[in-house]
Amino acid sequence: MPLIDGTLSALAPIFAAALLAGPRAALFLGLATASLVQVALGGALIVGVGLFLGRV
């Protein structure tokens, strides 16, 4: 069961920040990553709805 899709690429910088800069930096990097993922998913949802409605 492979796990190397978007999961590893999103988690690796968070663990690196925790090791190099401390837990506070890892927290902020994790929050930034989560918010960017939500923006990307929202954009995909908008495009999907547009395709479904025939507006794209």
- The residue segments making up the domain with residue 11 are 7-53
Question: How many domains in the chain?
Answer: 1
* Alpha-carbon gap, residue 10 to 45, rounded angstroms: 20
Instruction: Please check whether residue 2 lies inside any domain of the structure.
Output: no
Say whether pLDDT at 56 is over 50.
yes
Residues 6+ apart with CB under 8 A from 15: 26
Say whether pLDDT at 2 is over 70.
no
Angle at 53 between CA 51 and CA 56, to 5 degrees: 40
Read off the pLDDT of residues 9-44 as tens digits, 9 standing for 90 and up: 777 778 888 889 888 988 888 888 778 777 777 777
